[in-house]
A and B are shown apart, each in its own frame.
Chain A
Amino acid sequence: MQQPLTASPDAPSTMPAHHDTPDMVKVWDWPLRAFHWSLAFFVALAWFTPGKYDSLHRFAGYTVIVLILFRLAWGAFGTRFSRFHAIGRRLRAAPAYLANLRHGRTGRYRGLNPAGTAMLVSMLILLAISTLTGWMSTTVRFFGVPWVEDTHSYVSDAVIVLVVVHMLGVLVMCVLQKENLIGAMITGWKRRHR
């Protein structure tokens, strides 16, 4: 896994190097970053608009559906760290990773660590259920059907719980690994591994 450090500055590397800070590597491609922050914005918008601002709420929900579909496509066709190819492996590693995290032990990953992968998968699943049941509530067939409405509200609450856990998790990892992960999701660059 770990590459030995070489003395030569232009040693062959599969990762593009930052032009002026060679210790940085590009991780998150721009469509992924745009997806991430749009999703954050529209989930927040949807959270604060039900009932009173119905049309905004629906618009936010439909946008989230489009964003989920984009993410699934980008998981298949995006650049290395956007793709879903390692998801199964990372998910199986997640319980052990979380257990170690409690003792402050973390492995460094350039892309999503196993806990982040578990977050990605749960978030996409809950968002899919939330938006689907929300959309169903606007149809004559499912309007006012208790299980549809109740599922929508409980799963949407769960999405917000996940959002908070996600933010907490990112802050914890920032501290444990002394890395600005929020900045990384804005610029796409992370520190190279040692």
Chain B
Amino acid sequence: MKALIKVSAVLAVSIFAAAPALADGFKDCTKLEKAKWKPASEAEGKAKEAGYEVRRSKVEGSCYEVYGVKEGKLYELFYSPEDLSLKKTIAKN
């Protein structure tokens, strides 16, 4: 019984450990330390300037990931928190 619980615990941990590694397509934007990052609101501003309706933004790895809608299409925009350069655009549909 104890062994069973151990096996399950290992199983559970490995399932959870494996998933985040696969979680997102893009996560490397900068090597700059987090304290020196520009604010996320500026990344959102860049997306708005580019004509996107911004839904939300969040930190993904060392990127700002901005969710934007443009002409009825869905996009994930990855900005570098270092210089707010656009690193990648993923069309979701």
What residues make up the interface of A, taking CB atoms closer than 8 Å to B?
47-52, 54, 138, 140, 143-146, 149, 157, 160-161, 164, 167-168, 171-172, 175
Interface residues of B (CB under 8 A from A): 1, 4-5, 7-8, 11-12, 15-16, 18-19, 22-25, 55-56, 67-69, 72, 74, 92-93
Apart from the given pairs A48-B22, A52-B22, 11 other A-B contacts in the complex at a CB distance below 8 Å: A48-B18, A48-B19, A50-B22, A50-B23, A51-B22, A138-B93, A143-B67, A143-B69, A144-B55, A160-B19, A168-B4
Q: A47-B19, A49-B22, A52-B25 are in contact. Are A143 and B4 (CB under 8 A)?
A: no
Beyond A48-B19, A140-B69, whether A172 also contacts B25 by CB under 8 A is: no
State the CA gap A50–B7 with chains docked (Å).
26
Give Cα A149–Cα B57 distance, bound, in whole angstroms. 12
Q: How far is the CB of B77 from chain A (nearest CB, A)?
A: 11
The answer to whether residues A47 and B15 also contact, given A54-B92, A138-B74, A168-B8 and a CB cut-off of 8 A, is yes
| Smallest beta-carbon distance B42→chain A, Å | 18
Q: Which residues of B contact A144 (CB under 8 A)?
A: 55-56, 67-69, 74
Q: Closest 9 interchain pairs by CB?
A: A144-B55, A144-B67, A51-B24, A168-B8, A164-B12, A143-B74, A144-B56, A52-B25, A171-B4
Chain B residues within 8 Å of A149, by CB: 56
| A-B contacts, CB under 8 A, total | 61
A153 to B, closest residue via Cβ: B23
Whether A171 touches B8, Cβ cut-off 8 Å, given contacts A47-B15, A164-B15, is yes
User: B16 to A143, Cβ gap below 8 A?
Assistant: no
Asked if residues B22 and A146 are in contact (CB atoms below 8 Å), the reply is: no
Specify the main secondary structure of chain B where it touches its partner: mixed
- Residues of A near B68 (CB, < 8 A) are 144
Q: Which residues of A contact B19 (CB under 8 A)?
A: 47-48, 160
Q: Which of B25, B67, B74 contacts A51 (CB 8 A)?
A: B25
A42 to chain B minimum Cβ distance, whole angstroms, is 16
Q: Which residues of B contact A145 (CB under 8 A)?
A: 55-56
- Some 5 contacts from A to B, beta carbons below 8 A apart, are A47-B15, A47-B19, A144-B55, A144-B68, A171-B7
Bound-state Cα–Cα, A52 to B22, Å: 7
Of A47, A51, A54, A172, which contacts B4 at CB under 8 A? Answer: A172
Given contacts A164-B8, A168-B5, contact A51 B55 (CB under 8 A): no
Q: Which residues of A contact B4 (CB under 8 A)?
A: 168, 171-172, 175
